[in-house]
Structure 1
Amino acid sequence: MSGASGAVVRRVATAALLIAAGNIASRLIGVVREAVIAGLFGRGADVAAFTAASAVPTIVYDLLVNGAISAALVPVFSAYAEEDETAFWRVAATVINLALGSIALTVGFLIWQTPTVVMLLAGGFEPELRELTIVMTRLLLPSVFFMGLSGLITALLYARQRFLLPAFTTSIFNLGIILGAVLLQAWLGPLSLVVGVLLGSVLQVALQLPGLRDATHVPFLTFDLAHPGVRRILALYAPVALGIGFSIAGIVIDRNLASRLTPDAIPTMRYATALIQFPLGLVAAAVSFAVLPTLSRQASAGDEAAFRVTLAMGIKVVLLLILPATAALAALGAPVVALLYQRGAFGGEDTQATARALLLYLPGLPAAALDQMILFAFYARQRTLTPNLVQGAAILIYAATALPLLMWTPLGVAALILANSAQWIGHALILYLLSQRLVDLGGLRIGETFWKCLIACIALFCVAWWLGNALAFAGPLAVLLGAGGLGTLTYAGVCLALRVEALDFLITTLRQRGFFPTA
């Protein structure tokens, strides 16, 4: 390996390590955030109002900035950063002005029309709860400006290959919410969560500003929409915006239906979803860390054979990691919920309700994880339209599942959770079928990996469930340490005995990155 190529590999490895570390930290702190909210507010109506209200700034941020970061901003910014510094800042300044101007107009309009927005999102709330949601939404909307600015700075820093500060923006955002809730709940009640979001959004910007220390000659007043770089960003982002539009429709439908159930429905879904997102985020980080950089280089080089092998291995690694996480949560869901949430305003009944919701979300967890890996394949080939059209089909699957279950069964919130699982499974199946036109994965032993991991998961579930019941008297921490630990060892042992190929690959990759000592 030449010195230049070795430097590139080391840079990619360092970037992947920092991004993975930031992702893991953000997931961990995110769980702490939910535990704090649960302890202070339980599954009460205040959490329902905050969850509905906080969806509005998130939707605006995702639509105007977040969706463009990886699909459009970073690729185009990176090209100019390597070739022409002056053009880089000209494009960057134009995009920043365009994005912040769009945010200002959108936020102003939504503050004016907040009652209508809340009616769309939470039309089933009682009048008093709806008024609280309106107040929260109006107070939260200014945070979009700082969230958007933070996202734009992230794109600039990634393009200039500065990964440390952006990697921890979500972590510091979650810390802001935790601080606001813990320090101000006694005086502001649920509005302390709003203050926390505002604080977190400001901290995101403050954290990253030192990364732009050399940006001393930025043409801030530039607004060159005719520049080829700006036009390229808009062209790349258009399909992504379509997919985000479908996602927004799904969020609106889901929140509106949930608001028509009991007030604890939305909080229950929130806490259970946080537990689903934790392993999902960790698996996505692990797979990106191990596979995605290589996959992108192979797609650019047109190496079809290597692309097939790498993508198949990525899918196998996802199966290796997400299936045991699903089995463990199925066996130990109640102790997990009790350990993380059961304190303060969150009691035993809340634990049981959240654990039941978690169990219903679990069928969709493996599908959601596999879905991300297949998306990597489309994005590595710069095919952004197809996966975003599939998102529209997935929303139809959700509606076709949720509405009949709500109308013709007494399932209540369980109907919405099952519909979410059906949506994730449907999206993954459709995308996988369409990916067959993108790359042929036949003969690469993906099915073999699935069945071997499934056998190991059955062993994990049996051991964890039996030992979890036996240790229930000792409390949730002892259950998770004992049953979870032995279940994990059982899974690893069975995988080794069955010679699961993905396990060898993952261990080798982590060893190459310095996580394990080499022999």
Structure 2
Amino acid sequence: VFTKLLLIKKERAWHLTNNIVNILGIILIIISLILFILAPHFMRFLVPGFDPEKIKSVIDLTRIMLLSPILLGLSSVVSAALQSLKSFFIYALTPIMYNIGIIIGALLFVPLWGINGLAYGVVLGAVLHLAIQIPTLVHHGFKYQPILQWKDNNVLEIGRLLIPRTMGLAVGQLNFLVITILASTLTVGSLTIFNLANNLQYFPIGIIGFSFAVAAFPTLSKFVAERKQDELINHLSKTIRQILFFIIPATLVFLLLRAQIVRIVLGSGQFDWDATIATGNTLAFFALSLTAQCMIPLLARGFYALHDTWVPFKIAFVSVLINIIFSLLLKDLLGVSGLALAFSIAATFQATALWITLRKKIGTLRELDILQTVFKISFAAIVMGIVTQLVKTKLGSSMDLTSFWRVATQGFVAGALGLITYIGICFVLKVEELFELIGSFKRKWLKLTNIPVEISEVDDV
């Protein structure tokens, strides 16, 4: 809707943006106030395994974090506008800023305010999520206005389009609610470990999965509108291969260096080695589905481009049921790690179901091209993993890992040498995605230095 108005008249698009921001802001504030008041009542239901003192702590945490949905809701409107304006880079930074806020909370706020510091970190992350986008939006011409028109036709149209996606979000929240209840019945600290590992795993998903999906969506929609089926298929297949090029080695890094990652980010203050290891093991089970989780945003947007929002919702609903069932089966066997494994099983199902149904809808996703790419990058990633593990083990046996900087050095050196190995092997194997990445950096460098591309190409010859 915003894109359509943008083509007609930019002022009308900004009018709609202001209207949505104000309406959504009012709705979210009212909901947050209601939840703030009722928090003591529903928290006793959400965390039945907690004693009264812990329930009080959870209530305090919840009330602090109720600021976060308001900020993230407003930020989502800004994000949608920036995507329509093709400002993908800034949007891609938002999950990074959100995680930076959480990390600051864990490292700086927890020593000052205890466990509430994590909640303040979440709020800070939401503030950064919104704040980083505002300068770019203003640069494009946005000016805030106190517009409030509930019956505006464009607002009503947006409401109709959002129904299935809103239902999908509601199902996701129901899933989170059930997992929270189950985690609270496990050993002390299980809920905290689950949430921390979950936040860490979303770092590569946000940078890789969502960034590529968001950047691809306008092009996919354009090809659908122009009825260019082959171009649609090619762009989907190409984007899938680009995601795999990044997420497969990232998965190995998270599996092999999970303890180092957790220790660097969270291993201070109240987080001892036992908590670090437990969080790292939970993170490892999450990491098993990083590829699937990065596929889901792109495949879902393939349906959205085809004006089908119901199929992704139905698949998401079934995946939530699968997650709940496996969580119940695995929680007593594996503890909090079982909840992460159940999550990965459900995510893998969701990605697979989306892939199969989208393939039936458009005919093919050029699977042969994808398999050829997967074979090459998997080989490179395996060698990278061997190098990373050898370097990690060697450094671990030759240095004392009781300090933050030594753990950071071990993780950085092992990861860096592994990454260099991966890039080198991909170069030798002539992995197309690597050369596309090099070409992209080259074009941006030439643009920054104002060197004509034609001159550079002649020099290369």
The TM-score with structure 1 as length reference comes to 0.74
Q: Could you tell me whether the CA contact under 8 Å between 2:92 and 2:207 is conserved in 1? A: no
Consecutive unaligned residues in structure 2, runs of 5 or more: 400-405, 450-455
Match of 1:342 among 260, 264, 267: 267
- Report the counterpart of residue 302 of structure 1 in structure 2: 227
Question: How far is 1:278 from its partner?
Answer: 2.0
Match of 2:346 among 405, 413, 423: 423
- What is the deviation of 1:337? 2.7
Q: Is the 8 A contact 1:242 1:389 kept in 2?
A: no
Q: Please list the CA deviations of residues 222-262 of structure 1 after superposition, one character each: whole Å capped at 9, or x if unmatched.
A: 4241x331221011101101111110111001111001111
Counterpart residue identity of residue 465, structure 1: Q
**One-letter amino acid matched to 2:391:** L
Partner of 2:6: 81
Q: Does the 8 Å CA contact 2:47/2:55 hold for their aligned counterparts?
A: yes
Tell me, yes or no, if the aligned pair for 1:317 and 1:506 is still in contact at 8 Å: no
Is the aligned partner of 1:482 residue 2:413? Answer: yes
Q: What is the deviation of 1:452?
A: 2.2
| Percent of pairs with identical residues | 28
Among 243, 266, 269, which residue is 1:318 paired with? Answer: 243
**Shift of residue 279, structure 1, vs aligned partner:** 2.1
What CA deviation, in whole Å up to 9, does each residue of 1:86-109 have, x standing for no partner?
644554454344323322332232
Deviation at 1:82, TM superposition (A): 3.3
The verdict on how the C-alpha distance between 1:135 and 1:165 changes in structure 2, with shifts beyond 3 A counting, is same
Cα drift, residue 391 of structure 1: 0.8
Is the CA contact (8 Å cut-off) linking 1:120 and 1:252 kept in structure 2? no
Offset at residue 507 of structure 1 (A) = 2.9
Instruction: Report the residue type matching 2:115 in the other structure.
Output: P
Structure 1 position 414 matched with structure 2 position 337: yes
Contact between 2:286 and 2:343, CA under 8 Å: does it hold in 1?
yes
2:105–2:120 CA contact under 8 A, matched in 1: yes
1:491 has 2:414 as partner = no
Structure 1: distance between partners of 2:229 and 2:37:
52
504 and 469 in structure 1: CA distance in 2 versus 1, 3 angstrom threshold:
same
Residue 500 of structure 1 is matched in structure 2 by 431
The aligned residue for residue 463 of structure 1 is: 387
- Measure the CA separation in 2 of the matches of 1:91 and 1:177: 32
Q: How does 1:162-173 map to 2 (within 5 A)?
A: none
Tell me if the contact between 2:209 and 2:294 (Cα under 8 Å) persists in the aligned partners: yes
How far, CA to CA, are the matches of 2:8 and 2:377 in structure 1? 47
Work out the CA distance in 1 between the residues paired with 2:389 and 2:142.
56
Are 2:181 and 1:256 aligned? yes
Superposition TM-score, scaled by structure 2 size? 0.83
Cα pair distance change 1:507/1:141, threshold 3 Å: same
Change (3 A) 1:147 1:461: closer
The answer (yes or no) to whether the contact 2:234–2:366 under 8 Å persists in 1 is no
Count of residues in correspondence between the two structures: 440
| Structure 1 equivalent of residue 377 of structure 2 | 453
Shift of 1:324: 1.0
Distance 1:334 1:471, change over 3 A: same
Equivalent pair of 2:201/2:286 in contact (CA under 8 Å): yes
Per the TM alignment, residue 402 of structure 1 is displaced from its structure 2 partner at its CA by 1.3
Higher relative contact order (CA 8 A, sep 6+): 1
Q: 2:386 is matched by which residue type in structure 1?
A: C
Q: 1:382 maps to which residue?
A: 307
Q: Which amino acid aligns with 1:424?
A: A
Tell me which amino acid in the other structure corresponds to 2:389: W
Secondary structure at 1:125 match in 2: coil
Deviation string 1:187-234 (CA, Å, 9 cap, x unpaired) is 6433344455556656766666665596679462x4241x33122101
CA–CA distance in structure 2, aligned partners of residues 361 and 89 of structure 1? 40
Q: Distance in 2 between matches of 1:274 and 1:318?
A: 20
Q: CA deviation at 1:79?
A: 2.1
Deviation at 1:389, TM superposition (A): 1.6
Is 2:388–2:415's contact at 8 Å kept on the other side of the alignment? yes
- Structure 1: 5+ residue runs without aligned partners? 1-75
Deviation at 1:381, TM superposition (A): 2.4
Aligned-residue offset at 1:274: 3.1
Letter in 2 for 1:396: L
- Change in Cα spacing, 1:128 to 1:461, as seen in structure 2 (3 Å) is same
State how far apart, in whole Å, the 2-side matches of 1:140 and 1:162 are.
29
Q: Matches of 2:283 and 2:46 in 1, distance apart?
A: 23
| CA distance in structure 2 between the partners assigned to 1:203 and 1:451 by the alignment | 39
In structure 2, the residue corresponding to 1:506 is in which secondary structure? Answer: helix
Q: Which amino acid aligns with 1:250?
A: N
Pick which of 455-464 and 492-501 moved more: 492-501
Counterpart position of 1:21: none
* Gap change, CA 1:100 and 1:399, over 3 Å in 2: same
Shift of 1:426: 0.9
Other-structure match for 1:267: 192
Equivalent residue letter for 1:446: I
Equivalent of residue 276 in structure 2, options 341, 351, 356: 351
Q: Distance in 2 between matches of 1:446 and 1:183?
A: 44
1:433, CA displacement in angstroms?
A: 0.8
Q: Give the 3-state SS of the residue equivalent to 2:333 in structure 1.
A: coil
1:148–1:342: structure 2 CA closer, same or farther, 3 Å change rule?
Answer: closer
Q: Secondary structure of the residue that 2:360 maps to in structure 1? A: coil
Amino acid in the other structure paired with 1:462: I
Say if 2:210 and 2:297, in contact at 8 Å, map to a contact too: no
Q: Residues 441 and 190 from structure 1, CA distance in 2 versus in 1: closer, same or farther, beyond 3 angstroms?
A: closer
Q: 1:122: which partner in 2? A: 47
Deviates more, 1:418-427 or 1:260-269: 260-269
